[in-house]
C-alpha cells in the first residue's frame, strides 16, 4: 500500500470536537516541513539543472492532475506578477484543461498520452524542463508526459509523496517528500498538498533568484498591478536610494519598475 493511502493515525474523527480536530490536523501539518527538509538535496539537484536551461531560453512546465495540477497552475501563475517574467515562461498544465481547476474532470488523469498532447501546443524544446506533480506517484497522465518528454531530450523532474513511485522512475531528477499517512485517510490535498506547495515555492523562487529576478531580498521586477504593490515598490525605492516617498513615486511613474528606477539613478 502507498504511504499516502495508508490509514490515518487518528480514529473516529466524527466523534472529535472541533478543537480536537483542529489541534490534530495542526499536529500532522507540523511534520511536513521536516519531510521537505529531507528532500532538499533532491530539490537542489533539480534546480541546478533548471537554471542553465532557462538561461539559454528554456521554460519551466508543470503537469499534474487534481490538487497536484492545481498547485502547479498556482505556482506558475504567481511567477509573472512576482518576478516580472512573461506568462509563458513558467506554465502550469492540469489534466482535463483549465476547467479542471474548479471542477474535477472525470478520468482526465488516466490518459497517459494526453499530457504530451497538451504540451505540444507550446512546442517544447530541449532547453525546457517538465516537472510532474503527483502525490501518489502513479498518475498515468503525469507518467506518460514525463516518459515522452524524456525521450524528446527535455529535462524531467517530479514532486511526489511516496518513495520509489512510477512517476519518480520516469523523471531524471525526482523529488520524493514522504509525509506519511494523511489525517483523513487518503486525502492528499492535506499534508501531501502542503508538501508539494512548499517544494514548488522553493523550486520557482530559487530558480528566479538565480536568474537575477531579485535584488538583495526585494522583488524589484514585480508587476505593479494594484495600490498595495505600488506602495511596496515606493518603499523599496526609498530604502534603496534614501530619497523621499514623493520622489520615489515620481521616479516609479517615470520608469515603470523598481529595477528600472535603481538602474536609471545608479547608471
* Structure-block grid coordinates of residue 193: 498538498
Given a cut of 90, is residue 266 above it in pLDDT? no
Q: Which of 5, 44, 78, 172 is catalytic?
A: 78
Residue 142's pLDDT is what? 98
Q: What is the pLDDT of residues 14-70, one digit of tens each?
A: 999 999 999 999 999 999 999 999 999 999 999 999 999 999 999 999 999 999 999
Query: What average pLDDT is seen over the chain?
Result: 96
Average pLDDT for 127-148:
98
Average pLDDT for 221-231:
94
Q: Are 135 and 163 in contact (CB under 8 A)?
A: no
| Structural Rg of the chain based on CA atoms | 21
Residue 145's pLDDT is what? 98
| Nearest CA-CA partner of 134 in 101, 177, 185 | 177
Residue 3's pLDDT is what? 92
Residue 138's pLDDT is what? 96
Burial of residue 173 (number of CB atoms within 10 Å: 0-12, 13-18, 19+): buried
Given a cut of 80, is residue 260 above it in pLDDT? yes
Q: What is the pLDDT of residues 202-216, one digit of tens each?
A: 999 999 999 999 999
Q: What is the pLDDT of residues 149-202, one digit of tens each?
A: 999 999 999 999 999 999 999 999 999 999 999 999 999 999 999 999 999 999
175: enclosing H helix or E strand = strand 173-176
Given a cut of 70, is residue 1 above it in pLDDT? no
Torsion, Cα of 150, 151, 152, 155 (10° steps): 20
pTM: 0.94
Percent of residues, the chain, with pLDDT higher than 90: 97
Given a cut of 80, is residue 267 above it in pLDDT? no
Instruction: Based on the residue annotation, tell me whether 239 is a catalytic residue of this protein.
Output: no
Instruction: Based on the residue annotation, tell me whether 78 is a catalytic residue of this protein.
Output: yes
Measured CA to CA, the distance from residue 225 to residue 58 in angstroms comes to 26
| Nearest CA-CA partner of 159 in 60, 80, 11, 26 | 60
Q: Which of 109, 176, 182, 240 is catalytic?
A: 109
Measured CA to CA, the distance from residue 166 to residue 164 in angstroms comes to 7
Q: Are 69 and 159 in contact (CB under 8 A)?
A: no
Amino acid at each position: 500500500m502507498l504511504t499516502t493511502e495508508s490509514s490515518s493515525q487518528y480514529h473516529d474523527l466524527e466523534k472529535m470536537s472541533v478543537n480536537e480536530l483542529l489541534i490534530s490536523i495542526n499536529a500532522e501539518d507540523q511534520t511536513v516541513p521536516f519531510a521537505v527538509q529531507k528532500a532538499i538535496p533532491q530539490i537542489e539537484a533539480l534546480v541546478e539543472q533548471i537554471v542553465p536551461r532557462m538561461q539559454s531560453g528554456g521554460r519551466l512546465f508543470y503537469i499534474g492532475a487534481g490538487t497536484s495540477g492545481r498547485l502547479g497552475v498556482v505556482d506558475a501563475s504567481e511567477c509573472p506578477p512576482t518576478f516580472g517574467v512573461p506568462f509563458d515562461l513558467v506554465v502550469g498544465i492540469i489534466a482535463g484543461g483549465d476547467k479542471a481547476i474548479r471542477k474535477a474532470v472525470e478520468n482526465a488523469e488516466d490518459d497517459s498520452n494526453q499530457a504530451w498532447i497538451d504540451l505540444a501546443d507550446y512546442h517544447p524544446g530541449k532547453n525546457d524542463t517538465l516537472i510532474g506533480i503527483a502525490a501518489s506517484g502513479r498518475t498515468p497522465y503525469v507518467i506518460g508526459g514525463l516518459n515522452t518528454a524524456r525521450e524528446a531530450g527535455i529535462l524531467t523532474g517530479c514532486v511526489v509523496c511516496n518513495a520509489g513511485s512510477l512517476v519518480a522512475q520516469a523523471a531524471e531528477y525526482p523529488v520524493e517528500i514522504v509525509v506519511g499517512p494523511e489525517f483523513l485517510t487518503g486525502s492528499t490535498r492535506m499534508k501531501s498538498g502542503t508538501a508539494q506547495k512548499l517544494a514548488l515555492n522553493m523550486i520557482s523562487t530559487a530558480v528566479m533568484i538565480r536568474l537575477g529576478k531579485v535584488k538583495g531580498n526585494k522583488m524589484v521586477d514585480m508587476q505593479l498591478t494594484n495600490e498595495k504593490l505600488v506602495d511596496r515598490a515606493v518603499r523599496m525605492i526609498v530604502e534603496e536610494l534614501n530619497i523621499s516617498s514623493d520622489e520615489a513615486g515620481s521616479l516609479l511613474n517615470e520608469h515603470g519598475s523598481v529595477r528600472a528606477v535603481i538602474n536609471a539613478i545608479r547608471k
